[in-house]
Amino acid sequence: MIIVTTNDLPGYKVVKVHGEVSGMTVRTRNALAQVGAQFKAIGGGELVGLTRQLAETREEAVARMTQAAFAAGCNAILAMRFDSNELGGTYQEVIAYGTAVVVEPVN
């Protein structure tokens, strides 16, 4: 699966547009990471545990979006974006979305 954030794909032509596909996940924050984050807030710096958790959450959302595109018979996703939201101060929602298409190499 080719996934790009651009609206076109150099070297390829779009032969079919399926439409929007998305993948969403909602996760709760790890309690230990949250406690570590509170201590880290005193001195500043990266919150490694929360960074790792958010990266995993994004990967899961992309995997679900990719599955939706495969199920539609597509081989690429154009204009892919992420959106995120915090729910109730405890949960994080991440959605990956884009336009599922079928592309062919330009000869």
Give the CATH number of the domain where residue 16 resides. Answer: 3.30.110.70
Q: Which residues of 43-62 are buried (b: 16+ CB within 10 A; e: fewer)?
A: eeeebebbeebbeebbebbb
φ and ψ at 37, to 5 degrees? -65, -40
Q: Per-residue pLDDT tens for 46-69? A: 777 778 888 999 999 999 999 999
The confidence score (pLDDT) of residue 89 equals 73
Please give the model's pTM, rounded to 2 decimal places: 0.84
Residue type, 46: E
Cα–Cα separations (whole angstroms), residue 7 to 29, 45, 68:
34, 36, 19
Please report whether residue 100 resides in a domain: yes
Please report whether residue 43 resides in a domain: no
